[in-house]
């Protein structure tokens, strides 16, 4: 046995020892023991685990979590050093590091000091403490490597690092973990998100996808000191009740009427929000060696669609199975509420979303979840069913604009085709939509046209009725043909050479939406 310097040249030139993981299922490494003859009390020393690439330690790929440093003070007064390799210095990782089975890895040791001397086994050298027994074979399947620059390694075929690698063994084969949503912070709104109307106490807050419900408390903060429309900042920066909602924002009632039409608030306005969703994607960074498994279940809280009649804030009493790392769709709207709403609606300490992870494995082969690299993506559809006045099954938006209007239309979900120019004049058209239209959903077709001498962008749209009744789809994969006839059978529409179609999607359940698979139009020439 002999010794070699870790920092044999100043500049953090590492040494590395390759090794082979023989266990087919892989192992979890918890710590490594090294043996030093001398050390530098003023310089730290570090170990890393790296992949092997083409028989050499990787120059830049370090296994996550596998970097562990010890200060030079670890060796103060001669501690952790010995003249016979009898004292181990332990580098314990902050978390178990998983190494795949039947693969090579490298243990890298780095120190910016030539004072560190570490024990190595060298062929034909005496075993430490013996003058008779020599090392006549390599103790492991691996090699010692030296590097001048930390990127390029040279193998020392007759040497191996003296080290002990510790693997984990788990006491139980089954475990259960409960994860809950974090707090939903106030959202910073766009610049000047507040609108007032002269002589009115109604104040509009521009806050897309806010997830709030009518009658629910909302916290406003950050309105600049000048206020908005004569309404003082102090009367805006507080808790209010939501009066009306749509996908663009909501309204509140101020303590006094505004003295002018105004838009303002500044760049620091914040508002509470809820996160509504109908698709959940649990993005879990996990390791599941052979013989191990992770099963996921969730408890959710109901939301309320813009035009829906659902009851929000109903927390489920049982867990429902979901699949990790893929989209899980629901048939009803859910939400994750902000803290004060959770407390008032669900109860103190109750969260909107619970996820149960059931972990199973063997003593040496267990699943692992990296919570620092895990998250949950929540996806919702922005769809409404609007009317200009309060009607059952409809939502009244903050500013209703009919879809017949040439520009705009307040419905949030729609498809507008490009302007299509015909080679010759037409007096009619048949439109065929291949679509799924489940219960609670609907869509409308709008049409506008112009001749060569007209500008189509200034024309209003016309709502087109279906030719015949078509029953609702069973589900979103049940597609049917919907037909529309413009100009009648004889073609009595005003002659046109260009046209444009608009499809407006509607639903009273934002978790269930109509889908268009194909759109065809056939023009009737003069």
Is 406 a member of any domain?
no
Is 387 a member of any domain?
no
Under DSSP, is residue 8 helix (H, G, I), strand (E, B) or coil?
coil
* Same domain membership, residue 348 and residue 469: no
Is 203 a member of any domain?
yes
* Same domain membership, residue 228 and residue 300: no
Q: Nearest CA to 401 among 412, 416, 391, 415?
A: 412
Is 396 a member of any domain?
no
* Same domain membership, residue 136 and residue 36: yes
* Same domain membership, residue 469 and residue 328: no
* Same domain membership, residue 103 and residue 16: yes
Is 206 a member of any domain?
yes
**Number of domains comprising the chain:** 4
Residue 334 belongs to what domain range?
275-379
Q: Within 13 A of 18's CA, how many CA atoms are on the CB side?
A: 23
As a whole number of angstroms, the distance between CA 247 and CA 519 comes to: 27
As a whole number of angstroms, the distance between CA 145 and CA 154 comes to: 5
* Same domain membership, residue 454 and residue 429: yes
* Same domain membership, residue 512 and residue 439: yes
Is 180 a member of any domain?
no
Q: What is the predicted pLDDT for the residue at 1?
A: 47
Structure tokens at 186: 């106030």
Class of residue 170 by CB neighbours under 10 A (exposed 0-12, middle 13-18, buried 19+):
middle
Q: What is the predicted pLDDT for the residue at 501?
A: 98
In the DSSP assignment, the letter for residue 439 is T
* Same domain membership, residue 149 and residue 38: yes
Of the residues 221, 253, 271, which one is the last residue of a structural domain? 271
Is 234 a member of any domain?
yes
The CATH number of the domain where 86 resides is what? Answer: 2.60.120
β-pair partners for 213: none
The CATH number of the domain where 490 resides is what? Answer: 2.60.120.200
Is 513 a member of any domain?
yes
* Same domain membership, residue 112 and residue 64: yes
Class of residue 16 by CB neighbours under 10 A (exposed 0-12, middle 13-18, buried 19+):
buried
* Same domain membership, residue 264 and residue 133: no
pTM: 0.83
Q: What is the predicted pLDDT for the residue at 525?
A: 84
Under DSSP, is residue 313 helix (H, G, I), strand (E, B) or coil?
coil
The CATH number of the domain where 197 resides is what? Answer: 2.40.30.20
Of the residues 204, 239, 271, which one is the last residue of a structural domain? 271
Q: What is the predicted pLDDT for the residue at 424?
A: 93
* Same domain membership, residue 204 and residue 111: no
DSSP letters along 475-494, please?
STT--EEEEEEESTTTT-SP
* Same domain membership, residue 84 and residue 138: yes
User: Considering Cα of 469, then 475, then 478, then 481, what sign does the dihedral take?
Assistant: positive
CB 467 within 8 A of CB 485: yes
pLDDT in tens, the chain (526 residues): 456 777 665 446 789 999 999 998 999 999 999 999 999 999 999 999 999 999 999 988 899 899 999 999 999 988 899 988 889 999 999 999 999 999 999 999 999 888 999 998 876 565 665 555 655 556 667 889 998 776 788 888 888 899 999 999 988 889 999 999 999 999 999 999 999 999 999 999 999 999 999 999 999 999 999 999 999 999 999 999 999 999 999 999 999 999 999 999 999 999 999 999 999 999 999 989 988 999 999 999 999 999 999 999 999 999 999 999 999 999 999 999 999 999 999 999 999 999 999 999 988 888 999 888 899 999 999 999 999 999 889 999 999 999 999 999 999 999 999 999 999 999 999 999 999 999 999 999 999 999 999 999 999 999 999 999 999 999 989 999 999 999 988 888 999 999 999 999 999 999 999 999 999 999 988 7
């Amino acid at each position: 046995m002999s010794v070699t310097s870790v920092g044999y040249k100043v500049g953090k030139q590492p040494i590395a020892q390759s090794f082979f993981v023989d266990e087919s299922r892989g192992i979890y490494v918890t710590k490594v023991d090294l043996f030093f003859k001398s050390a530098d009390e003023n310089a730290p020393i570090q170990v890393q685990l790296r992949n092997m690439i083409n028989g050499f330690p990787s120059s830049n790929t370090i296994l996550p979590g596998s970097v562990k440093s010890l200060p030079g003070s670890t060796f103060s007064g001669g501690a952790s050093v010995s003249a016979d390799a009898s004292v181990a210095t332990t580098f314990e990782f902050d978390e178990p590091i998983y190494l795949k089975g039947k693969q090579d890895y490298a243990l890298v040791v780095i120190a910016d000091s030539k004072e560190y001397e570490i024990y190595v086994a060298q062929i034909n050298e005496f075993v430490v403490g013996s003058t008779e027994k020599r090392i006549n074979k390599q103790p492991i399947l691996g090699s010692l490597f030296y590097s001048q620059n930390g990127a390029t390694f040279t193998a020392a075929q007759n040497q191996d690092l003296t080290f002990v690698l510790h693997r984990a063994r788990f006491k139980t084969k089954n475990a259960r973990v409960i994860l809950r949503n974090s707090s939903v912070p106030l959202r910073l709104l766009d610049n000047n998100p507040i609108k007032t109307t002269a002589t009115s106490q109604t104040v509009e807050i521009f806050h897309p996808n806010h997830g709030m419900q009518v009658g629910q408390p909302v916290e406003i903060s950050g309105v600049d000191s000048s206020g908005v429309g004569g309404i003082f900042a102090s009367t805006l920066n507080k808790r209010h009740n939501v009066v009306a909602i749509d996908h663009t924002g909501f309204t509140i009632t101020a303590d006094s009427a505004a003295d002018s039409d105004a838009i303002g608030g500044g760049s620091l306005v914040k508002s509470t929000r809820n996160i509504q969703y109908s698709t959940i994607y649990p993005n879990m960074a996990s390791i599941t060696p052979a013989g191990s498994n992770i099963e996921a279940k969730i408890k959710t809280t109901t939301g309320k669609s813009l035009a829906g009649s659902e009851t929000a804030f109903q927390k489920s009493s049982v867990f429902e199975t979901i699949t990790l790392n893929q989209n899980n769709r629901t048939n009803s709207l859910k939400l994750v509420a902000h803290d004060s709403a959770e407390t008032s609606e669900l109860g103190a300490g109750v969260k909107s979303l619970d996820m149960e992870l059931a972990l199973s494995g063997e003593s040496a082969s267990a699943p692992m979840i990296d919570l620092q690299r895990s998250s949950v993506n929540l996806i919702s559809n922005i769809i409404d069913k609007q009317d200009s006045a309060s009607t059952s099954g409809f939502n009244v938006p903050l500013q209703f604009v009919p879809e017949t209007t040439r520009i705009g239309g307040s419905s949030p979900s729609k498809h507008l085709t490009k302007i299509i120019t015909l080679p010759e004049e037409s007096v009619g058209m048949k439109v065929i939509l291949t679509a799924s239209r489940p219960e609670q959903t609907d869509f409308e077709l709008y049409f506008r046209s112009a001749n060569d001498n007209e500008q189509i962008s200034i024309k209003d749209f016309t709502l087109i009725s279906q030719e015949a009744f078509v029953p609702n789809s069973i589900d979103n994969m049940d597609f049917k043909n919907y037909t529309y006839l413009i100009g009648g059978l004889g073609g009595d529409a005003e002659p046109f050479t260009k046209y444009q179609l608009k499809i407006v999607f509607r639903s009273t359940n934002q978790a269930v939406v109509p889908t268009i698979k194909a759109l065809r139009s056939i023009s009737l020439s003069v």
